[in-house]
Amino acid sequence: MRPGVLEHGYGVGPKLLFRLIRLMSGRPAPDAAKLTFYRPDFYGTHMKTFTQEAMRGRSTWSVGDRELMAAYVSKVNDSPFCVGAHTATATRAYQDGERVAAVLADLDSATIEEGLRATLGMLGKLTSEGTLNADDIRAVLSAGVSRQQIEDALAVGFAFNTTDRLANAFAFQVLSQEGFEAGAKYLLKRGYR
């Protein structure tokens, strides 16, 4: 990671935790996890709380749907670490890799529910253009998506529009497929706390 303090600047507690993770999993802690332990009072504590609420809090979107939204937003942001992490997590949550791959390859032709397609399209437009208008929202409502579901999806968008930028700027190390799958197992069991 860059700058160097994100590689070497951790206190005794996080260093012990990272060592424990390596011992238990056989892999180093992913950079996404490490970042939240660097001066957590500045960023990590609040961001972990927000992300946990957006991704695992009460919502009528399933965990798989929200992980797919995370992967899709990350693809639009061209964030290889986050695409890998959330493709693996959505795949594991749905137990359906073809569904996830189809959405990431071509949203328009993927065989998914129309409401989910419209919501992913809305998040994609917001991420690439930086804004939405009321007509964009009306199109999603017309596809049968509720107001609350749109609010929930926008929260996922905030979480990953932030995390994708940090993954790219701080140069998170892209993991092996096995590493992403181990991370997915952890995120589905323990969440983002």
Partner 1 sequence: MPAEGEKRSIHHLLVDRILQGPGRAPADQRARAFDNANLPEPLGPLLDKVATKSAQVTDADFATAMEAGFTDDQLFELVICAAVGESTRQYEAGLAALAEAIADTEAG
Residue 77 makes CB contacts below 8 A (sequence gap 6+) with 127, 160, 161, 164, 165, 168
Give the nearest distance from C-beta 122 to partner 1 in angstroms: 8
Residue 114: C-alpha distances to residues 90, 98, 110 (Å)? 18, 17, 10
Give the nearest distance from C-beta 152 to partner 1 in angstroms: 7
Size of site (CB under 8 A) for partner 1 = 54
**CA–CA separation, 150 vs 16, rounded Å?**
40
Binding flag, residue 118, partner 1 (CB under 8 A): no
Give the nearest distance from C-beta 54 to partner 1 in angstroms: 6
**CA–CA separation, 130 vs 83, rounded Å?**
19
Taking alpha carbons only, the member of 76, 44, 47, 39 closest to residue 168 is 76
Instruction: Tally DSSP H helices, then E strands, for the chain.
Output: 11, 0
Binding flag, residue 25, partner 1 (CB under 8 A): no
Binding flag, residue 146, partner 1 (CB under 8 A): no
Binding flag, residue 121, partner 1 (CB under 8 A): no
Applying CB under 8 A, which of residues 157, 175, 179, 192 lies at the interface with partner 1?
Answer: 157
Binding flag, residue 170, partner 1 (CB under 8 A): yes
**Can you give the binding site for partner 1, defined by CB under 8 A?**
2-6, 9, 38-39, 41-43, 46-47, 49-50, 53-54, 57-59, 77-79, 122, 126-127, 130-138, 141, 147-148, 150-152, 154-155, 157-158, 161-162, 164-166, 168-171
